[in-house]
Chains A and B, each alone.
Chain A
Amino acid sequence: MLNISGINEGYVLDHIRAGMSLQIYHDLKLDTLEDCMVAMITNAKSNKMGRKDIIKVECPIDAIDLDILGYLDHNITVNIIKDDRIVEKRALALPKQIKNVIRCKNPRCITSIEQELDQIFILTDEEREIYRCKYCEERYRGHHRRHASKR
């Protein structure tokens, strides 16, 4: 097993579906954080999942907006670390609204021509993980069942 040293303050994101860590790295905008150390472990063995990815982030715990993780995959385990200890295991839920994470694919949507508009999607059916574009109401499934479908 590859060893990565522990972190003093930050997050350990565990049980990420194998191969998804790079996308989560970008979606959480970890590349834009200053003075933050990020370790990504991909394809680690997992009793629960077979294979999984893990991300460790050394950063102030208020530096990351975790809401997006709920959209990307609410099965991810979020461990919050402070003073070298896990102080909280946070359960993820689908966020009510996601902003600038996915883009509306409807060519008739106003966002297709006015690029400065925020890409906002509202959770309209929690059970079926359905989001709708705030502007045109085009329907999108939650990320881990994501197949954009017509309204």
Chain B
Amino acid sequence: MQHLMSPMDMTVDELEDLMRLAESIESDPAKYAHACDGRILATCFYEPSTRTRLSFESAMLRLGGQVLGFADADSSSAAKGESVSDTIRIVSSYADICAMRHPKEGAPLVASSRSLIPVINAGDGGHEHPTQTLTDLYTIHSLKGGIGHLTIGLCGDLKFGRTVHSLINALVRYPDITFVLISPEELKIPSYLREDVLMANHIPFTEVEKLEDAMPDLDILYMTRVQKERFFNEEDYLRMKGFYILDKEKLTLAKEDMLILHPLPRVNEISVEVDDDPRAVYFKQAKKGVFIRQALILRLLEIA
């Protein structure tokens, strides 16, 4: 039985396989509409995350399966003090596969060690969010015709943003990737990522402060939200959140075929006026997130 805790759990070949399956689902959804008939997905969300939870639920429903679960810790037995290990043992009796979101890092790993069904980490604190990374990779793969030979700009909160960390870890395994890291001094990537991942793997990267300076070189611009909950005080948050806003004017500097990705939800880091630009693919990205989750569910249930 396989679980998914980190995007690094999968080899590049396994990822390619998964993305091929997602492509097949995307091109012919009807073929998979009953692939999970009679199967149940449990969404155990110990903290609210409407988007990820709905994406998982949509994925299972589109495969013909059913879903049950809880959407925050207060409406679960965790409120009564039940451990993650006990909860997953019970959920193992009720469902065939589980997607778990938890504010504490490593909680899904604890669950997977006790579970009788595959567990998918749907986000654990600031640690991992592998299905977001799969979504990002699949979006790049399907809209650029493959992953590799790309200059990728990562913009915004690179210090606390786990999606950025996971994406960097996943992308360094592909050929000829160059990173441009665009952030204020206060929100630069952690040193372990710079030293242990980028420098250790001889990945070319530059760190810049202004989005405009990086824009002309980019094939992909990955925007991130400055998350309020990562800050200890409101003042710091308010000071930084407006630093890197993508608007139509900045976009004039970009390549015609650059793609703008964003894990969503956005606050104000991408102006609404950008939404109609063909390079803005973040809503497509959210849609592709459902296909890659469908593929993942099928793989982990060993159906396809």
Query: A residues touching B (Cβ–Cβ < 8 Å)?
Result: 106, 108-114, 116-117, 125, 133-137, 139, 150-151
Q: Within the complex, what minimum Cβ distance (angstroms) separates A117 from chain B?
A: 6
Binds A, one of B50-58, B106-114, B137-145: B106-114
Which of B85, B125, B127 has the largest number of chain A CB atoms within 10 A? B127
Given contacts A114-B110, A117-B110, A150-B190, contact A135 B105 (CB under 8 A): yes
Given contacts A109-B106, A134-B109, contact A114 B125 (CB under 8 A): no
Which of B102, B106, B127 has the largest number of chain A CB atoms within 10 A? B106
A110 vs B124: C-alpha distance when bound (angstroms): 9
> Is A110 in contact with B84, judged by CB distance below 8 angstroms?
yes
A117 vs B113: C-alpha distance when bound (angstroms): 12
Could you tell me how many residues of chain B have their Cβ less than 8 Å away from some Cβ of chain A? 18
Other than the given A108-B103, A151-B192, 19 more pairs (CB < 8 A) read A108-B104, A108-B105, A108-B126, A109-B104, A110-B106, A110-B110, A110-B124, A111-B106, A113-B104, A114-B85, A114-B110, A116-B83, A134-B109, A135-B107, A136-B105, A136-B106, A136-B125, A150-B192, A151-B190
Q: Which residues of B contact A151 (CB under 8 A)?
A: 190, 192
Q: Which residues of B contact A133 (CB under 8 A)?
A: 106
- Within the complex, which residue of A114, A117, A139 is in contact with B192, where a contact is CB–CB below 8 Å? A139
Q: Which residues of A contact B102 (CB under 8 A)?
A: 110
Measured CB to CB, the nearest residue on chain B to A133 is: B106
> Is B126 in contact with A135, judged by CB distance below 8 angstroms?
no
A113 vs B84: C-alpha distance when bound (angstroms): 10
A109 vs B126: C-alpha distance when bound (angstroms): 10
Measured CB to CB, the nearest residue on chain B to A136 is: B105
Q: Within the complex, what minimum Cβ distance (angstroms) separates B45 from chain A?
A: 15
Q: Which residues of B contact A111 (CB under 8 A)?
A: 106
Q: Which residues of B contact A106 (CB under 8 A)?
A: 105
Q: Which residues of B contact A112 (CB under 8 A)?
A: 104
Measured CB to CB, the nearest residue on chain A to B85 is: A114
